[in-house]
Copies of this chain bind each other. A is one copy, B any other.
């Protein structure tokens, strides 16, 4: 059976420190399941959170664009948990129904043409090399 989630009350000090930072950074009362399961490995919990905090921060791309890319990849990989959580995150960052529909349409088409290019064994154009 899977390892159980680790709730705040049962967490070690290093795990609580990460939970506290997630809650403060995202202004939420509790952390998602993802973090409560990852907490079985405090080093990976801390590293993953710090990586995500760095990567998803506003930069050359705004947070909504980043969340939509995260969602597109999760959809392409078929990760049910990640599709659910990153759809929610993208919604929170402002994704509208129309934008969601376009993310799906682009993701679907990219998956189709990726295979057409594979199957027809299309060589890379000189201009793209």
Contact = CB atoms under 8 A, between A and B. Distances in A.
A43 B54 contact: yes
Contact of A104 (B47, B102, B114, B119): B119
Interface residues on A, range: 35 or more
Interface of A: 1-3, 32-34, 37-38, 40-41, 43-44, 47-48, 51-52, 54-56, 59-61, 65-66, 68-88, 96-99, 101-125, 127-129
A59 B105 CA distance: 12
Contacts of A114: 73-74, 77-79, 82, 111
Contact of A107 (B81, B83, B119, B128): B119
B82 A79 contact: no
